[in-house]
Amino acid sequence: MVFFRSVAALSRLRSRLVQQPSLSSSVRWLQIQSGSEIDLHSQLKEMIPEQQERLKKLKTEYGKTQLGNITVDMVLGGMRGMTGLLWETSLLDPEEGIRFRGLSIPECQKVLPAAVDGGEPLPEGLLWLLLTGKVPNKEQVNALSKELQSRAKIPDHVYKAIDALPKTSHPMTQFATGVMALQVGSEFQKAYEKGIHKSKYWEPTYEDSLNLIAQLPAVASYIYRRIYKDGKTIPSDDSLDYGANFSHMLGFDDPKMQELMRLYVTIHTDHEGGNVSAHTAHLVASALSDPYLSFTAALNGLAGPLHGLANQEVLLWIKSVVDECGENMSTEQLKEYVWKTLNSGKVVPGFGHGVLRKTDPRYMCQREFALKHLPDDPLFQLVSKLYEVVPPILTELGKVKNPWPNVDAHSGVLLNHFGLTEARYFTVLFGVSRSIGVCSQLVWDRALGLPLERPKSVTMEWLENYCKKTA
């Protein structure tokens, strides 16, 4: 079973990574891809029956097992902390951070194939890992990259739908519109209308998911060039991988920027199922809405300032610090500006997280990238100062459970360094990335036959009466 610990798998990992004993000792389970099979669909078709049996056994043997108690605080606090979703592709631990199919971000950086020796992992490799639970080899990643390129054609009506919006529309509004325009080609919708058996739902969902993932960079780059570059689009380069080609179509061919895009797409793909964009996609898809409809809903959640839009707000706030205090501000000046922000009733964007209780590993890998490629960048140096200044201040407030920086605290500064300075666009990049995690899980939602999501809601009066009775 691919999802269980495997002595053989760990043995293969040790033989492959003899110079990295710390990795093999920390991985809970892992199966390194072996053999020459390079077709992702065939691998899924082989795996799905055993995972269906696994789910059936869980239901039969442990269906009545309690996972915890629901408190009034949870009900009133946006279901915070409730265990209520099955999400196979990743798991978020408050102290450890995100793991993709059991692998931490540093572990993914070590074992997933890269475009250059010692470089950042290819997003195609993470897509394979999320769908199968197996670490692919370079041949399989290259084949998947070519397959995505073959699926990336955009119908003309999609561009016309985007062009119908004012250029001043927020990039996320244009992006969601483009995805909805793509929906008319949904294979799942066509198959459902023809009466496909529910046991086969996963197959057109897989087709839609790979098509959508493949198409998004072209749609996203079209929007960027439309708004910021006088509509002068750049054609795809089929010789490039997914992340590098996205960078190219945006207009950035610096190899370091291409490496950044590979890293950016990889680390933003998934963050378990409870965040707004992931949960929204899962919820909408549970009604048998196709991946295009489900992902558009996810984008609308991602566009909120308490979720994906935060990466836009971080860079704007950092630039406001520089505007007021200058690039060479003292630590005391920075502290004063942080307090000024907090005392005005605002938050310091990029700090804190709904689940994490430590510095976000996604922040740390971006910091390592900056130390390697742009250590002298003034905004990166400011970000480093904020890392020292903000957490003690938030801790002093006494109301913040996690005073540490999250993924959004760093990404904008890296993009800005390489010339992608338009902060309003940043959340679109996040959206392209998030499609890989969301769509991988949607395939498994269909394969496992997960039901319509329908939690119970209650009124305040019901809660008051219930609590009085149980007091």
Catalytic residues: 307, 353, 408
Instruction: Give the pair of three-digit tokens for residue 329.
Output: 């501000």
Q: What angle do CA 215, 216, 222 make, to 5 degrees?
A: 100
Who contacts 61 (Cβ-Cβ below 8 Å, separation ≥6)? none
Instruction: Give the pair of three-digit tokens for residue 420.
Output: 């992608």
Give the residue among 270, 267, 271 at the shortest CA–CA distance from 112.
Answer: 267
CB 349 within 8 A of CB 317: yes
* DSSP string computed for 306-365: TTTTHHHHHHHHHHHHHHHH-TT--HHHHHHHHHHHHHTT---TTB--SS-SS--HHHHH
* DSSP string computed for 388-426: HHHHHHHHHHS--S--SB-THHHHHHHHHHTT---GGGH
Per 3-state DSSP, the chain is made up of helix, strand and coil in percentages (nearest 5) of 60, 5, 35
CB 138 within 8 A of CB 257: no
Distance from C-alpha of 200 to C-alpha of 192, rounded to nearest angstrom: 10
Number of Cβ within a 10 Å radius of residue 36: 7
- Helix, strand, or coil (residue 121): strand
